[in-house]
């Protein structure tokens, strides 16, 4: 069975902010054969909204962000979530990420906010940081 993931918005934004971190390395490997990456319309819209809101601080134009989003849509596997299980998580704004992971039968949610996804385990979804996920798939990453 191939490994499958959903990336939380914080990982996407972190990758845009710095080319030095695990988030950037993970985003750079998004089209590798090591794992499948799942997206939904709500997740893509959130990626775009947050990135555009922060565009000045991350040094990207709206066009740059749109190009990156288009690429993620091209390489990602698309899912529609037909059912909602709310509330499940401490922050209801994170529920749609969990719902996408469950709908897609993903193995992992990759996030910097692991504690926010407490409860995901009851859906057989493991929550990992980008660094831990990279280590698990055999991508060497050392924090500088």
Stretch (H or E) spanning 5: strand 4-7
- Domain borders along the chain are 4-136
Residues 89 and 116: beta-carbon distance below 8 Å: yes
The whole model's pTM is what? 0.90
4-136, superfamily in CATH? 5'-nuclease (3.40.50.1010)
Q: What is the pLDDT along the chain (144 residues), one digit of tens a residue?
A: 689 999 999 999 999 999 999 999 999 999 888 899 999 999 999 999 999 999 999 999 999 999 999 999 999 999 987 666 655 666 667 788 989 999 999 999 999 989 888 888 888 999 999 999 999 998 876 665
Q: Tokens 């690429």 appear where? A: 71
Q: Across 2-107, where does the E strand assignment appear?
A: 4-7, 36-39, 77-78
């Amino acid at each position: 069975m191939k490994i499958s993931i959903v990336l939380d918005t914080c990982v996407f934004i972190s990758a845009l902010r710095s080319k030095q971190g695990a988030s950037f390395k993970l985003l750079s490997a998004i089209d590798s054969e090591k794992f499948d990456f799942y997206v939904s319309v709500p997740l893509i819209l959130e990626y775009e909204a947050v990135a555009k809101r922060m565009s000045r601080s991350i040094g990207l134009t709206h066009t740059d962000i749109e190009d990156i989003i288009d690429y993620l849509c091209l390489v990602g596997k698309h899912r529609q979530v037909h059912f909602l299980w709310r509330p499940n998580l401490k922050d209801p704004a994170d529920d749609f990420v969990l719902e996408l992971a469950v709908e897609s039968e993903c193995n992992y949610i990759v996030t910097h906010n692991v504690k926010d996804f407490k409860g995901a385990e009851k859906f057989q979804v493991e929550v990992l940081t980008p660094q831990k996920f990279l280590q698990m798939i055999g991508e060497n990453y050392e924090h500088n």
